Amino acid sequence: MPELTCPVCGRTLQRTDKTLRCAAGHCYDVARQGYVNLLRSTQSKSKRHGDDKRMVHARTAFLDLGYYDILRDAVAEAACRCTQGNVDVLDAGCGEGFYTAAVLHALARQGRRVSACGVDISRDALICAHRREPRLQLAVASVNRLPVADASCDLLLNLFAPHDAEEFARVLRPGGVLLRAIPLERHLWELKQAVYDVPYENKLADPALPGFTLGRRQTLRTRITLSSPEAVQNLFLMTPYYYKTSARDQEKLRSLDHLETEIAFGLLEYRKK
């Protein structure tokens, strides 16, 4: 299991019943919803920590209908192919645990011992992750300051979440694998056309990461049809576009009873140098 560490002193946390405690005496309770809060107040200046309950519920409802299974299955396949033997998995920015759980299940089906930890800044997302897969170890924390011990992970997932190459290299063992998923230029293009007068393509950053060697790159592209107003709204609510869109533009989607749109993902496989 990836070892959780104290956000105050950095020592390893040991669990006793519903409590995590370090050798210096710092103590953190595990909530009944299955997560522990290791986010220091100095790490976030915003009162809103990550995705709120409405966004999380929209994403959960959308993903559970299978629209993004193409990515889920590709991530699980890559996790099995890129690792060997027993695997300690960390999902940095795990959200509601859709992909984390799929990786855990895929590795376990191969008869491997697998432990998985999910870190996210959203408490609401982690509550859903625990419901999806109670075996996940879950912590509220920032991907920029992971409460995880050095070199304690074999596989790190970073899917549609902020990344920090230095932190990722720190927590991965030598030769460890990083899987990143990013939206490609025309991901959700028709959704943008329905909302914005002048839709824009996503900008792709340089995929190179210090401390890592980029290996295989996959392009996953297909079209999905949302056949109800609820599905259309859930897709919009789970994206960052919703909170950046005016009320006038948001209203445009409420008149749609269906939507067909392209989805396009890049799945990048890295190896720690």
What's the confidence (pLDDT) of residue 13? 97
What strands, in cross-sheet order, belong to the sheet with 27-29? 14-16, 19-21, 27-29
Q: What is the pLDDT of residues 81-124, one digit of tens each?
A: 999 999 999 999 999 999 999 999 999 999 999 999 999 999 99
C-alpha to C-alpha distance for 273 and 260, rounded to whole angstroms: 42
What's the confidence (pLDDT) of residue 144? 95
C-alpha to C-alpha distance for 30 and 15, rounded to whole angstroms: 9
What's the confidence (pLDDT) of residue 247? 84
Residues of the chain short of pLDDT 50, as ranges, are 45-48
What's the confidence (pLDDT) of residue 243? 79
What's the confidence (pLDDT) of residue 49? 55
Q: What is the pLDDT of residues 114-151, one digit of tens each?
A: 999 999 999 999 999 999 999 999 999 999 999 999 99
What's the confidence (pLDDT) of residue 242? 83
What's the confidence (pLDDT) of residue 1? 77
C-alpha to C-alpha distance for 104 and 170, rounded to whole angstroms: 22
Handedness of CA 14, 19, 163, 126 (dihedral sign): positive
CA nearest neighbour of 148 among 162, 138, 161, 134: 138
The SS3 of residue 220 is strand
The SS3 of residue 45 is coil
Tell me, rounded to whole angstroms, the distance of Cα 64 from its chain centroid.
15
pTM of the complete model: 0.94
Tell me, rounded to whole angstroms, the distance of Cα 163 from its chain centroid.
10
Residue 238 CB partners (closer than 8 Å, separation 6+): 55, 58, 59, 62
What's the confidence (pLDDT) of residue 11? 96
| Phi, psi angle pair for 137, to nearest 5° | -85, 125
In 84-201, which ranges are E strands? 87-92, 114-120, 137-140, 153-159, 172-183
